[in-house]
Amino acid sequence: MSSLSPNVLLLEQTNQLKGLFSIIRSKDTHRSDFVFYSDRIIRLLVEKGLEQLPVETHDVQTPLDVTYEGVKFLGKICGVSIVRAGESMEQGLRDCCRSVRIGKILIQRDEETALPKLFYEKLPEDISDRYVFLLDPMLATGGSAILATEVLISRGVKPERIFFLNLLAAPEGIVAYHDKFPNIKIITGGIDPKLDAKKRIEPGVGDFGDRYYSI
Q: pLDDT (tens digit, 9 = 90+) per residue, 36-90?
A: 999 999 999 999 999 999 999 999 999 999 999 999 999 899 999 999 899 999 9
Task: Return the CATH number at 182.
Answer: 3.40.50.2020
Q: Which residues span the domain enclosing 109?
A: 8-213
List, as one string, the DSSP characters of 46-105. Answer: HHHHHTTS-EEEEEEE-TTS-EEEEEEE-SEEEEEEEETGGGGGHHHHHHHSTT-EEEEE
**What stretch of H or E contains 116?**
strand 116-122
**What is the pTM (predicted TM-score) of this model?**
0.93
CB 194 within 8 A of CB 202: yes
Residue 13 domain-assigned (yes or no): yes
For residue 4, what pLDDT band results from cuts at 50, 70 and 90? confident
pLDDT of residue 160: 96
Distances (CA, A) of 6 to 12, 108, 184, 199: 15, 30, 10, 26
C-beta atoms surrounding 141 within 10 Å: 18
pLDDT of residue 111: 63
Residue 190 domain-assigned (yes or no): yes
Instruction: Tell me the residue type at 175.
Output: V
Cα dihedral sign, 124-127-133-137: positive
CB 44 within 8 A of CB 11: yes
Residue 133 domain-assigned (yes or no): yes
Instruction: Answer whether residue 203 shows pLDDT above 70.
Output: yes
Residues 6+ apart with CB under 8 A from 11: 17, 44, 45, 48, 187, 188, 189, 190
Residue 66 domain-assigned (yes or no): yes
More confident site: 111 or 81:
81
Distances (CA, A) of 197 to 52, 140, 201: 35, 12, 10
Chain mean pLDDT for the chain: 94
- Which residues are paired to 132 by β-bridges? 78, 162
pLDDT of residue 122: 96
Residue 1 domain-assigned (yes or no): no
C-beta atoms surrounding 179 within 10 Å: 10
Residue 54 domain-assigned (yes or no): yes
Q: Which residues are catalytic?
A: 109, 113, 207, 210
Residue 2 domain-assigned (yes or no): no
How many folded domains does the chain comprise? 1
Residue 107 domain-assigned (yes or no): yes
Q: Percent of the chain scored above 90 by pLDDT?
A: 90
Question: Could you tell me how many residues make up the chain?
Answer: 215
